[in-house]
């Protein structure tokens, strides 16, 4: 078995849509594309590169795949992010694509949940998900996510695609690592811990 890791940028109010720049994902009339850019710094770049070194393969939604394919083949370098995205296998989940042009990409066929379970059952390194807001919702509903790596930015947007939508399976998560960047973003790692437990604050009712 290998872990499925979701790595994403998110605002304080849970929005993960289009953090990197204009044209990334304006769907739904989203007008705040590029909201992370003022906060990106060296601390964040180092952490992201470290996270990428653990990836054996990637699992991407159509939108994120197309964004990556439009840029990363033009930026081949020794950087771990470039090496990973250009040369590791990228499994693409899409209801609309019939094929993928990136030579290191494969289109997932059939039921997504079953396909991802088969990928997780293989030996090897991490299966990493980046961006892919719609795909993440499906993975959370299917209870397939083992680890969350979040960079939380000191921004609130009020609307946009959110990390946790309806249908998320109730779970507890254990904080395993945390850092604060110089720009005030929180870099957090959570591993899936178990079922949700409840109780009372104060005396239990009779």
Residue 195 reports pLDDT greater than 90? yes
Q: Tokens 């003022």 label which residue? A: 38
Rounded to whole angstroms, the Cα distance separating 201 from 206 reads 14
Segment 2-59, tens digit of pLDDT: 999 999 999 999 999 999 989 889 999 999 999 999 999 998 999 999 999 889 999 9
Evaluate whether 74 touches 145 at the Cβ level (below 8 Å).
Answer: no
As beta bridge partners, residue 128 has 5, 58
Q: Can you read off the two tokens belonging to residue 36?
A: 């992370």
pTM: 0.92
Residue 174 reports pLDDT greater than 90? yes
Residue 32: closest CA among 193, 161, 127? 161
Q: pLDDT band for position 205 (50/70/90)?
A: confident
């Amino acid at each position: 078995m290998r872990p499925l890791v979701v790595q994403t940028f998110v605002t304080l109010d849970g929005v993960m849509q289009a953090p990197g720049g204009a044209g990334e994902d304006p769907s739904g009339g989203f007008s705040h594309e590029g909201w992370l850019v003022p906060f990106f710094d060296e601390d964040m770049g180092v952490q992201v590169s470290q996270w990428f070194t653990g990836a054996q393969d990637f699992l991407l939604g159509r939108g994120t795949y197309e964004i990556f394919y439009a840029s990363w083949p033009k930026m081949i370098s020794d950087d771990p992010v470039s090496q990973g995205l250009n040369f590791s296998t990228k499994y693409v989940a899409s209801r609309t694509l019939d094929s993928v042009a990136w030579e290191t990409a494969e289109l997932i066929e059939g039921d997504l949940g079953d396909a991802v379970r088969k990928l997780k059952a293989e030996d090897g390194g991490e299966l990493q998900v980046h961006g892919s807001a719609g795909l993440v919702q499906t993975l959370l509903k299917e209870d397939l996510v083992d680890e969350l790596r979040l960079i939380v930015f000191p921004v609130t947007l009020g609307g946009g695609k959110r990390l946790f939508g309806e249908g998320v399976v109730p779970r507890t998560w254990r904080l395993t690592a945390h850092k604060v960047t110089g720009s005030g973003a929180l870099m957090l790692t959570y591993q899936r811990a178990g079922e949700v437990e409840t109780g009372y604050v104060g005396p239990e009712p009779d």
